[in-house]
Structures are given as C-alpha cells and as structure tokens.
Amino acid sequence: MSKIIVPFDPSGSADPPTHLHALSPQTLLLATDSAALHLFDLRVPSTLSSRPSQTHHPHEDYISSLTPLPPTEASTSGFSKQWVTTGGTTLAVTDLRRGVLVKSENQEEELLSSVFVGGLPSKPGRSKGEKVLVGSSNGVLTLWERGVWDDQDERIYVDVGRGGGESLDSLAVMPEGVGDGGKNVVVGVGDGTIRIVQLGPNKVVGEALRHDEVESVVGLGFDVGGRLISGGGSIVKVWQEKMTLNDDDEEDDSDDEESSVKKRALDGSDSDDGDGADAEDSSDEEEGRKRKKKRRKGKGKHTGNGILGFKGLE
C-alpha cells in the first residue's frame, strides 16, 4: 500500500484536502484548505516521505472547485495538461509544466463550482464553442470562453431572491442520450433543489427537483445508464428519466392492461366462478389484441420527457 503525506500549511497546522483529481495516470492533483495546489508524480514510488513534485497557490482562499481542460488537437499524450480552479472570488488556469498561467479579476462574488462544456455553437472570431461554467454563491451561473480568462462573458440567473439567490454548489453536464438532446447542465443548489439549465437559450427549464428540505446539493453526476445521482447532507438519491408516450403507445399499454385482466380472469385469480364459454371468448379477444399490437409494433415512439423528466427512485 502506498501513502502520500499532505504537507502542512505555512503555520505548521494540518492542511485538510478539499479536492483530489487524477489528471493522468502519472499526475495527481491535490487542493487543500490553505489554497495550496500540490502536484504528485505517480511515477515516483510513493513512500511515507513522498512530497509533491510541484506546489502552486493560484488563489488566496481555499480551492472550491477543480476542472480539467480537455487536451488540444496538438496533444500527443491525449491527457489534459491544464485545469481551471476557483477559489474565493477568482478563477485561475494552471499548466502542468508552466504553473499558474492566468488569474481572473475579482468577480465580487464567491465562486464555488465549475464544469467544462464543449460542442457549443462556434462563432468565428468570437467563440470556439468551448466554455467553463462557474456557479457562484448568489445564484448566478457564469460562462467563461476557453482561452479568455480575464473575465466572464455571459451570466445565467439560476436562483433569484432578495439580497441574492441561493448558492450553486455543484454542477454536472447532462450526457448525450439523456434529456432533449441539447446541451444541458444540472445544478445543485444550496436550498436542496436541483435545477436544469439549457445552454443556448441560457435559461432554467422545468421544475426544480427536491433532493433535501434543508441540506445543499454538494455532489452531482450521471451513471453509465444515464441516471442522475445527487448527494447532500446524509442522503444520496438516484433519479430515473421518465418517459412520455404517444397515442399509439398509450393504446398499446391499454391493450396490455386489458389482456392482463383477461389473463387473470382465465386463471381464476380475480373471479370466484367462471364460465367455459366466456373464457373461450376472452381468449379469442386476447389473441385479436395481440395481433393488433404486432401490426402497430414500431409505430409508437418513446420520447424522453427530457430535461423535465426525472423522478426519484425509492
């Protein structure tokens, strides 16, 4: 078993980790409460005396989020070598080889969470379609163009209230195949709700999902089946995307239900007595419905209720 010793802060006190991220099979990033960002080279055999290969201080306050930037087309390794961090009221970009590259202006609002989104519409000379989204302490989601880190370029008001909205504590990009097929971001809010933001129109869509009545949603993600996972307080919830049916599907479901009732009647499970002739008629009806359903097979379409369509699983 290998161990890594987390360095103490400048005062000599223990420096608790705030974020841990494996940037590549060779590099581990560790952010701590003292605003230090440590880089560990995993190719060096870890021992009790191992120390970070590099240490940076991109912010004056603790690092609240860490988001890797995808490798560029010129990358030969295929691994990320740059990442975005937030801390206090600033955003910073750090490079694996060159250290802290840039630090934003003071945003006058605490920045708490971040996520990278690619594949957005590009605008020649203005946008490459790659942005970092940052959640703030006052309910505002800010959008930052990749490569333009001095200041934010768009704002989305996710939660609005007197004196500012609730904090946006966690973010996750909705994967392809889930929702309406557009670019959507799931936001964990300080009041225990989950909101969904549609990029492009840049607006909150659908009704808020309720994770908890009191605790903030501090963790969000999607599993391989496209289910949304939320965490906060002492609760973890799994949300399944609901499906809506068209008219043909509703008729099919009705047929299934009626056939099921007929089958139970034939088995005698819902009836105290029965008539052989009635049972034979019911059987003929059931076969007719099955043939009708086969003819309709392929016509009904299940359409994801998309960004509105998540329900909690017990």
- Give residue 77's pLDDT: 82
List the domain boundaries for the chain: 1-81, 109-241, 244-312
- Going by C-alpha positions, the residue among 180, 131, 140 that lies closest to residue 306 is 180
Q: How far apart are CA 54 and CA 38, in angstroms?
A: 6
Give 10-residue mean pLDDT values along the chain (314 residues): 58 81 92 92 66 92 95 83 95 95 94 94 80 96 92 92 86 88 92 94 91 95 93 94 55 52 42 49 57 44 43 54
Q: What is residue 14's predicted lDDT score, i.e. its pLDDT?
A: 78
Do residues 264 and 240 lie in contact, with contact meaning Cβ atoms separated by under 8 Å? no
If you average pLDDT over every residue of the chain, what do you get?
79
- Asked if residue 75 lies in contact with residue 30, where contact means CB atoms within 8 angstroms, the answer is no
Which pLDDT value is given to residue 271?
Answer: 42
Say which residue the tokens 């590259």 belong to: 101
What does the pLDDT read at residue 312? 59
Give the pLDDT of residue 300. Answer: 38
CA distance 41 to 289: 66
Q: At what angle do helices 247-267 and 276-296 cross, to 10 degrees?
A: 160
pLDDT exceeding 90 applies to what percent of the chain? 50
Fold annotation for 109-241: Methylamine Dehydrogenase; Chain H (2.130.10)
